[in-house]
Amino acid sequence: MNTLNHVELRQVVEIVSVDHSPISSKLTEMGLVAGQLITTLFRAPFGDPIAIELNGTVLSLRLEEAQFIEVKA
Amino acid sequence: MKIALLGNPNTGKSSVFNLLTGLRQQVGNFPGVTVDKRSGFIQINQVQHELIDFPGTYSIYPRSKEETVVFDVLSDTKHSQHPDQIIFVVDASNLQRNLLFFTQVFDLGIPCVLVLNMWDLAQKKGITISIEALEKLFPGVPIVQSNARVGLGKDRILKAIDSTKVKDLTFKPFLDSFHLCEIEDVQCQKLEAENRLQKIKTSLTKVVETKVLEGENFSRKIDRILIHPVFGYLIFALVLMVIFQFIFSFANAPMNWIDNLFSHFSIWSSDLIPEGMVNDLISQGIIPGIGGVVVFVPQIAMLFFFISILEESGYLSRVVFIMDRLMRPFGLNGKSVVPLMSSVACAIPGIMATRTISNWKERLITILVAPFMSCSARIPVYTLLISLVIPKMYLFGFINLQGIVLFGLYSLGIVFALLVSFLLKLFIKQKEKGFLLLELPDYKNPRWGNVFINVLEKVKIFILDAGKIILAISIILWFLASFGPDMDGAAHGLSKTRAYQSMSKQEQTIAMDACKLSNSYIGILGKGMEPIIAPLGYDWKIGISLITSFAAREVFVGSLATIYAVQDDGGKQTLLIDRMRNEVKADGSPVFTLASGVSLMVFYVFAMQCMATMAVVKRETNSWKWPLIQLAFMGVLAYFTAWLTFIILS
């Protein structure tokens, strides 16, 4: 299963699950739920954190937070 | 009636608060936590209501220890801050996520007004909302649109508050069979969030209509430059330079005015009040003490003016974004950057700016290391000592040696700030793990009203909360410097000497001041600590100045001038420098050598020689524990590094 930290930039992916994240309830509250489409926007210099777009807002998260977000194309 | 203002971050909630209350605001802490509690009064039909602004959160369930205040207040109907009514602010352009928290609040059964803020922005994004359809989802909740940034919607919101009635018996929660989860039960919270989002999503299909607009979002275009690996950092460095240029060129003048104003006050009051103890206490203790508080205001105001602009415009979260990775190895976070950078001007606003760091451990570490950044009060100490012991020389014909030393002192502070954070990261234990999950809001023009109110608020907090402590310490320092077990005897002895009698009136005053200070309690303390500081190359006169400069670092210069009985030559200090150059120890060797001078500078890089910073740390950590720990470890570090420096150089 692919995880968000491995997704190339400017891709649209669908979230499969955030269940394995230690902060899954917080991710859910930010709208990161199974079925949600997100776009990878840009990376900070040094590749971390990353910024994604969902429902018109931009959210940044660290790679260590993104690695628990399972996605599919 | 108590009205709570709630909503997500970046929804313009504080704009709504400012719009409703204007300048009639108070700031303080919520009981038990260091979370700003802003409150103000609004009047509806001649009845006064208290409006309390809560921290912006994404959910009723806290992300950090500090956010628990929202949960505690809302879930406990007996809590002293529990509201009778709620104004809930949402960003109209992002209804779906915003409604998650709103439906939680709605389900608690507290009467609500829903404010759809940033209405214009939503329209620009091609979003249309049917208020009628939305009202059907939340029966009994008046829904108003506003555009608080430009001052629109105040009357509508006030009217809506008035029209809300106590919930009737037909009230039905948004989520069927709703009950609050335990604060630790994240599984329950996740499930609840999922269910809510699901229901919100299906319900909103009848409420929100989105037209997909052509072309790239304006903010995304700017981001490509501001987050660029090269330009991003360059622009941030440029922004910092502009801010410091401003502060260093414009804070000095008002600080001098304040200094002059208070010394005039002091002279005026000493002429007015009959001579004696009360006169001394007021003219030399209290008035200069208050002056010592007010003198920080220009720097605090200017720094928060700029920080508020960065925050309001949306740039601040980009700074966090590009700096996060760099700061993390040190136990810090991207949000630590602005507080630390501000500390280069003054640690006080820097430490006050750490409120944005939600993780307690990261915030604490930032507070503890901020005073290592060389602040502007160290400059007079550095420049005096550099011109005294560092020769005016050029390395390789063009690098100014004095400049290199100054640069070295600044770098030393920064390097140790990071090093100490790294060590603190290993020592400070915390269960809750830090995470970023930060929203990058669209860029906006800052609202000057909000900036102004924010500056005012920070100045008020400093004067009211930290000012008391600073005043108390300065009165203690005044007492120790003005009284001694046998001061009158020493003064009497001096006045009998032939040398004294042959002096001019002015010289006599200066000599008398020097005599009094060295025979005061501080003088005795300074002499007593000579054996302790001798290994660093200092004598008791430096010891006295070290103690007095706890009031503020730059006092060091003035104290030395008093002890050496040097006349003030209008800030040029050539007299003082000459006098210091000729100062010799008992064995005839000079006191100020390269070794002792650099050792002293290193001491000032590390030592917590600032009571105002301690007072602010006390306020920001809500206990004396941390400022005292900080005082101790900075003191120990200063002592040993200064000692090492002295040994290496001599």
Closest to B150 measured CA to CA, from B491, B448, B455: B448
**What CA–CA distance (Å, rounded) separates B254 from B246?**
13
**What CA–CA distance (Å, rounded) separates B341 from B360?**
19
Mean pLDDT of B378-390: 91
Q: Has residue B205 got a pLDDT over 70? A: yes
Q: Has residue B181 got a pLDDT over 60? A: yes
B437 interaction partners in chain A (CB closer than 8 Å): 23, 26-27, 30, 59-61, 65
- Cross-chain residue pair A29–B58, CB shorter than 8 Å: yes
Q: Has residue B544 got a pLDDT over 70? A: yes
**Torsions phi, psi of B333, nearest 5?**
-145, 165
DSSP string computed for B360-390: HHHHHHHHHHGGGS--GGGHHHHHHHHHHHS
ipTM, two decimals:
0.96
- Cross-chain residue pair A56–B219, CB shorter than 8 Å: no
A67 interaction partners in chain B (CB closer than 8 Å): none
DSSP string computed for B100-163: HHHHHHHHTT--EEEEEE-HHHHHHTTEEE-HHHHHHHSTT--EEE-BGGGTB-HHHHHHHHHH
pLDDT digits (tens, 9 = 90+) for A5-51: 999 999 999 999 999 998 999 999 999 999 999 999 999 988 999 99
Q: Has residue B411 got a pLDDT over 90? A: yes
**What CA–CA distance (Å, rounded) separates B317 from B441?**
8
> Where residue B166 falls among pLDDT bands split at 50, 70, 90?
low
Q: Has residue B477 got a pLDDT over 60? A: yes
The CA distances from residue B24 to B55, B290, B453, in Å, are: 19, 25, 10
State yes or no: cis peptide before B627, omega within 30 of 0.
no
Using left for φ > 0, alpha for ψ between -120 and 50, and beta otherwise, residue A10 falls in left
Res B559: pLDDT: 87
Most confident of B121-125, B169-173, B615-619: B615-619
Q: Has residue B165 got a pLDDT over 80? A: no
> Where residue B568 falls among pLDDT bands split at 50, 70, 90?
low
Mean pLDDT of B409-419: 96
pLDDT digits (tens, 9 = 90+) for A53-72: 998 889 999 999 999 999 99
- Cross-chain residue pair B321–A24, CB shorter than 8 Å: no
Residues 21-50 of A with CB under 8 A from B: 22-31, 33, 41-42, 44-49
A29 interaction partners in chain B (CB closer than 8 Å): 58-59, 61, 100-101, 189, 193
Res B452: pLDDT: 95
Which residues, listed in sequence order, are joined to residue A17 by a DSSP beta bridge? A70
Res B435: pLDDT: 86
Q: Are B373 and B553 in contact (CB under 8 A)?
A: no
Q: Has residue B608 got a pLDDT over 90? A: yes
Mean pLDDT of B81-102: 94
Q: Over chain B, what is the mean pLDDT?
A: 90
How far apart are the two ends of chain A, measured CA to CA in Å?
11
B101 interaction partners in chain A (CB closer than 8 Å): 29
Q: Has residue B264 got a pLDDT over 90? A: yes
- Cross-chain residue pair A29–B438, CB shorter than 8 Å: no
**Which residue is associated with the tokens 């524990």?**
B625
